[in-house]
Amino acid sequence: MTTPRTEAPATTFAVALLEEFVRLGVRDVVLGPGSRSQALALAAAEFERVGRLRLRVRIDERVGGFLALGIAVETRAPVILITTSGTAVANLHPAVLEAHHSGVPLIVITADRPDSLRGIGSNQTTEQPGIFGSAVRRTWDVAPPTGQPGETDAAAVLARDAVAAATGPVHLNLAFAEPLSSPFALPDAPAPVTTSIADTLPAPTAFPEVVPSLETLEANAPEAYALHSVPGTVVVAGTLAGPRAEEVARELGAPLLAEVTSGAHYGPHLVVAYRELLHAANFGDRISRVIVFGHPTLSREVPALIQRDGVETIVVRHGSAEDYNPGHRVVRFVDAVTVVGEPEPPSWAGRWVSASRALIGDVDTAPDIEADAGAHAKSELAAVRAEVTRRTLVEAVWRATWPHDRLVLGASRLIREADKVLPGKRITVHANRGLAGIDGTISTALGIALSSTDRGTTRALVGDLTFLHDVGALLFGEGEVRPRIQVVVGNDGGGTIFDALEVAESAGPGFERVLYTPQHAPIEALAAAYGWEYRRADTRGQLDQALTASSGPTIVEVPLPRR
């Protein structure tokens, strides 16, 4: 398509930029409103009108940032994030940091004043170039378009460079001068909007640095490090590990210590109770080598193991910006591994798996199937009426989630409980573990849900503080899509994760206020205010019923005891 010339150079440039992004296969835009960015905003709306982009609008830029993060996680493609100038840009920083540490591709486009208006106290103007520091792969500070020949070509080059650099977040800071926009229209010829960037990529001969051919990819693929079977080997899988960790564990005949968010929490070698066994005689003390995939964050035992004398650690790199290296004790970093030779005898992994299953057990009350009919009915009724515990909550959510669903876990006690007790199951689990913060969890889950509406229900399991921290994400503007999502809130009235830390043993009277931080905001009233369906589950029977699939956004509140 030839970019239409408009009265405002800002609009002509914005249209050319988005046109090239679309041609490269970018399909999702998240937008925060603002005056300085109006050319980009109106162009994005027009591209959506003719079916060439999916546009999501959010008034809170922090919410929008994490929404874009969730979309990028689910689609595995770059997402454009547009904001105006000033504090709007700063509000993107938490999502940019998470994307940086998790290797999620975001193309952050921020509007700015021309250089002549910077540094003189102009309204809504601050030092935007470099505002994200080293958390972006690359930054461009682009002068305002003036309508000169070649500007649309420059916009296309900028889009290509941004896509090429977006192995994580990148930042395009675009200055715009008045007039800030002018009317224009695209031809009414809808193009199919897909969720796969690969479906619409240009020919590799056009932009080989952006879209390499299959032959080029194979020629430049990292050389795989050869892993031989070594007695005492375990495979550790953290967030972003993926299924390769489970495959390598089987090929080596090694126990698999896979976190619940790893993408490898399944298979015959999975050891759920790895924390306990790493302390146990004839288990943890027999480990001589650790193969790490992804970013482990859910235990203290794994980094302690890697720092132990006599343990060799090999880390397989992933999309994170930093290499995982506890205590600087990792001996080798590799980009890929291949297993050669015979695996360890089955007894090594088998002992771990058997011991793990015995440790996990089923400590919760269950109906007595050996009892007579009357006693059995009573025990079954007692189980249904039983109070929900953290364990039964995570188990119920796990049971309700199927491979076509999505599960998002917030940074709270619940994710650690899930990691300790949940059996193997090959489902998609996500959590913002790049920096393991509580912010943006609901927004991230909404981004995932919006990008997987044809697959099933997205469930976000969060604590009450995580929920309240991102309550603004519940707001849908007029015309915005409302996806199929359940936000399950385990409400224990505050940050009970601190109860399990050393500080709780010696804390003074200020502990409750400054660490536990009790909150009593009525979740049902918040659900009503934002137009979400609300369900409350006080018993295990009510919980199972509440977790049945919802047609639209639903909040499920589950009261939990503090201890």
Whether 57 and 130 map to the same domain: the answer is yes
Contacts of residue 79, Cβ cutoff 8 Å, sequence gap at least 6: 26, 28, 29, 30, 68, 69, 71, 72, 105, 106, 107
Residues 16 and 120 in one domain: yes
In 3-state terms the chain splits into helix, strand, coil percentages (rounded to 5) of 40, 15, 45
Q: Are residues 239 and 156 in the same domain?
A: no
Per-residue pLDDT at 374: 63
Asked if 297 and 446 sit in the same domain, the reply is: no
Peptide bond just before 204 cis, omega within 30 deg: no
Residues 168, 70 share a domain: yes
In contact, 88 and 62? CB cutoff 8 Å: no
DSSP H helix total and E strand total for the chain: 20, 19
Query: How do residues 362-379 score in pLDDT, each as one tens digit?
Result: 544 444 555 566 665 666
Q: Is residue 435 part of a domain?
A: yes
Q: What is the mean pLDDT of residues 184-213?
A: 48
In a domain, 90, yes or no: yes
Q: How many domains are contained in the chain?
A: 3
Residues 346 and 384 in one domain: no
Spatial distance between the Cα atoms of 105 and 25, rounded to a whole number of angstroms? 13
CATH code for the domain in which residue 538 is found: 3.40.50.970
Q: Report if residue 428 sits inside a domain.
A: yes
Which of 145, 163, 179 is the last residue in one of the domains? Answer: 179
CA 159 to chain centre: 25
Read off the tokens for 514.
Answer: 């400054």
**In contact, 184 and 6? CB cutoff 8 Å:** yes
Kindly report, residue by residue over 13-61, the tens digit of the pLDDT: 999 999 999 999 999 999 999 999 999 999 999 999 999 999 999 999 9
Query: Where does residue 253 fall: left (phi above 0), alpha (psi -120 to 50 degrees), or beta otherwise?
Result: left
pLDDT tens for 510-552 read 887 888 788 889 999 999 999 999 999 999 999 999 999 788 9
* 176 residue type, one letter: F
- Of the three residues 360, 386, 409, the one that is the final residue of a domain is 360
One domain for residues 339 and 473: no
Q: How many whole angstroms separate alpha carbon 428 and alpha carbon 262? A: 9
> What per-residue confidence (pLDDT) applies to 189?
63
Task: Read off the CATH number of the domain in which 352 is found.
Answer: 3.40.50.1220
Q: What is the pLDDT of residue 536?
A: 97
Q: Is residue 251 part of a domain?
A: yes
Structural tokens at position 232: 């005492």
Domain shared by 384 and 481, yes or no:
yes
- pLDDT tens, 212-230? 444 444 455 568 999 999 9
Residue 44 belongs to what domain range? 9-179
Nearest CA to 39 out of 3, 2, 90 is that of 3
What is the rounded end-to-end Cα distance, in angstroms, of the chain?
Answer: 62
Of 117, 150, 179, the domain-final residue: 179
